[in-house]
Amino acid sequence: MAAKVQETENKKASKARNREGERGQWWPCETTDTELRELQNEGMISAHWSFIRDTVVPKPGAGEVVMTKAWVERGLSLPCSEFFLSILNTYGLQPHNICPNSYLLLSNFATLCEGHLGIRPDVKLWQFFFRVKKETKDKAMLNCGSMTFMLRPGRMYPPHDSHESVRYWNAGWFYEKNVSVPEIHDGLPKFNNEPPEELASWSFIPSLSLTPILEKAARRISWLVHDGLTGTQLTLSWFTRRIQPLRYNARLICAYTGADDQLRATRHDLPADSLKRRFKTLVKISRGQPIPELIKDIYTNDQCPPICFGRIRHPEAAGHVRRLRRRRLVRLAASAGGCLRLLPVDCGRDLRPARKMYLHIGWEKSTRCHHLEAGLVLMFSYLGEGDMSIKVFDETHCRRHYHGDNAEEDGD
C-alpha cells in the first residue's frame, strides 16, 4: 500500500516538474465543456466558443481570439474595455503576455477609478502607480506571462493580497469570437504567439502635474488608502456584483443600480459556497477563515463625487470675517478626506486688514511629510449680530451652510 502511495506522489511530482519546465509557454489544452458552459451560463463568455482538447499551441481561426479561464475569472470578458486595449497598445502586448495576477490588478484599478473616483481608468495614472517586471528564463523573455505589473515603491495605493502565481493557467485556454464596439474599437488584436519587445513605455513614469485631474485622483487614492481601502475590498466590490471590470461598458461602475443592471454579467448571485471557493482562487485567505466583509464599498446610483472642481476665491463681502477654532474647521472639512492641515491666508484689502481667515485646507502626505496643494475652499461671510455663513466648496461640489453657533472666535 505504501509503495502505491509513493508511486502516485512520484508521478505527481514528475508531472509538476515537467510543467515547470514549460514555464512561459503554452501547455496542451485541458479546457472542458463543463467549465466553458458554466462561464457561458453566467454571462462571462458568449456562446461562440470552441476548443480542441490536448492541442499544444493555440491557432485561432478567422475572427477568433484566444482566451483563458484565468483571465475571465479575473475580470476580462468580450468586448474588452478601452482601458484594457490601451494597456495592450501602450506596452505592445498580447493578452497572453500578461501574467494572470496582473489581470486582477487591472480589474481592481478599473473598479477603483470608476467606483470610487467616478472617472474612466487612465493609462498614465496606471503608469504612475505601477512598473513592469520582466519575466525571463535563461535571460530570454517568456512568451506566456512575459511581464508582471508591480506597485512602484513609495506609492500610496490599496495593498494587494493575491496569490503569488496561478498554476497552469496556460492550459485553460479556448477560442472565442472576437467582438468589436462600433465607433469605439475593433476588439482584441490579432493573435501573435510571440513574446513582446521591450518598449520605452515599460520604464516610463508620467508626471501627473501636467494633468490636474489625474493629480487629484492620485490624492484621492492616497486618502482612500488612509481610510482603509484594500485590494481585497476592491475585488469584493466587483466580484460579488458579478461585474467584469475589463469588459466594455458605456456606463461607469459607480452608476450601478442593482441586480437588473446591465453592468452585471448575470442577474444571479453566486451561492455562498461557490462565492467562497471562487474568491479564494483570487485572493489569499487563511485556511478556515471566512471571506472578508465588504466594508469600503464603491459608490452606486451615480452618487460618486467628482474629483474635478473649480477654484473659488474668497467672496467680495462688506464687513469682516471671523476665524474659527482649528478643531471646528477640521470637522467641517472632514468630507474632503485625507490628512488635513490649515493654511492661514490674508483676507485681502476688501476685508479688515487685521483679520485673517483660514481659506484653504491642504492635504498632507504623511509618508514624506510633503504638503500638496489645497483641495478644499472655505468661504466666510460675516452676517452681523454674531452670525457667520460658512460655505464649503469641496471636491464633492457640495455646498454646506453653517450659521450662528458654528461661528466662534479663534481661541486656539
pLDDT value of position 83: 97
* Domain identity same for 251 and 106: yes
Is the domain of 277 the same as that of 331?
A: no
pLDDT beneath 50: ranges in the chain: 13-14, 16-17, 19-21, 308-412
pLDDT attached to residue 3: 58
Pairing of strands 136-137, 140-141: antiparallel
**What are the phi and psi torsion angles at 76 (to 5°)?**
-100, 125
As a residue count, the chain comes to: 412
pLDDT tens digits for range 85-109: 999 999 999 999 999 999 999 999 9
Within a domain: 191:
no
pLDDT at 279: 84
Are 276 and 332 in a shared domain?
no
Q: Is residue 202 part of a domain?
A: no
pLDDT of residue 303: 82
Please give the pLDDT value at position 247. Answer: 97
* Per-residue pLDDT, 231: 93
Determine, yes or no, domain membership for 83.
Answer: yes
295 inside domain: no
Contact in structure between 19 and 27 (CB atoms under 8 Å): yes
| Cβ burial, residue 285 (10 Å; 0-12/13-18/19+) | middle
| 230 shares its domain with 99 | yes
Q: What is the pLDDT of residue 264?
A: 93
Note the pLDDT of residue 411. Answer: 33
Which residue range(s) make up the domain with 387? 326-406
Do 367 and 221 fall into the same domain? no
What is the chain's mean pLDDT, rounded? 75
> Using a CB cutoff of 8 Å and minimum separation of 24, what contacts does 134-141 make?
134/198, 134/202, 135/24, 135/99, 137/23, 137/24, 140/195, 141/195, 141/196, 141/198
**Residue 354 and residue 254 in one domain:** no
* Of the residues 219, 249, 282, the one at which a domain ends: 282
pLDDT at 397: 33
Are 169 and 31 members of one domain?
yes
- The residue out of 257, 282, 307 marking a domain boundary is 282
Tell whether 128 and 224 lie within a shared domain.
yes
pLDDT digits (tens, 9 = 90+) for 126-150: 999 999 999 988 888 999 999 999 9
- Summarised one tens digit per residue, pLDDT across range 293-324 is 888 899 998 887 766 433 323 333 222 333 44
Asked if the peptide bond before residue 290 counts as cis, ω within 30 degrees of 0, the response is no
State how many domains the chain has.
2
Q: Of 282, 299, 317, which one is at a domain's C-terminal end?
A: 282
387 found inside a domain:
yes
In terms of domains, do 337 and 262 share one?
no
Q: What is the pLDDT of residue 376?
A: 40
311 inside domain: no
- Do 133 and 249 fall within a single domain? yes
Same domain flag for 41 and 165: yes
Residues 159 and 213 reside in one and the same domain:
yes
CA-angle at 151, arms to 150 and 154, nearest 5°: 145
